[in-house]
Amino acid sequence: MDIQYCLRCSRELAAGQKYAAVYMFSQTVGIKPRQKSSAQRICFCPQCSVSLAMGPPPEGALNLAAWQMIRDLVGSDPALTEAAWENLSGVAGLLPGSVLAPTGTDSRRAAPGGYFEF
Ligand SMILES: [Zn+2]
């Protein structure tokens, strides 16, 4: 089983951990034979999912589509938000200002403003 990393904060998402995934693949339409790309899985840890969902819309059509899907997940059930708080309990106090700030050790890789980077 391969290890996943949060796209936004680079946190490692081990097997059994809670996170949100955006799946994306591409295929031709109206062309035979139909071509289909491999599927990509883009993962976000619970904190980043909630932070993104509560933030302003990102720029770019693909980013916007992904953002709306994350908002759907966060808005439809409190489980993801609860998972974010569970994870935060271990690092409380390290986050002056906003509890939803990126918390990864390598948060410098996050885009300015912290939005999707495809
Ligand atoms: Zn993250």
- The pLDDT assigned to 11 comes to 94
Cα 83 to middle of ligand 1, angstroms: 12
Cα 87 to middle of ligand 1, angstroms: 11
Written as tens digits, the pLDDT of the chain (118 aa) is 578 999 999 999 988 899 999 999 999 999 999 999 999 999 999 999 999 999 999 999 999 999 999 999 999 989 999 999 887 776 555 555 555 545 554 444 444 455 555 5
Cα 25 to middle of ligand 1, angstroms: 22
Q: Which of 51, 44, 43, 36 is nearest to 97 (CA)?
A: 51
Cα 76 to middle of ligand 1, angstroms: 20
- The pLDDT assigned to 104 comes to 52
| Distances in whole angstroms, Cα of residue 16 to Cα of each of 1, 3, 29, 42, 69 | 11, 11, 36, 17, 22
Cα 117 to middle of ligand 1, angstroms: 13
- The pLDDT assigned to 110 comes to 46
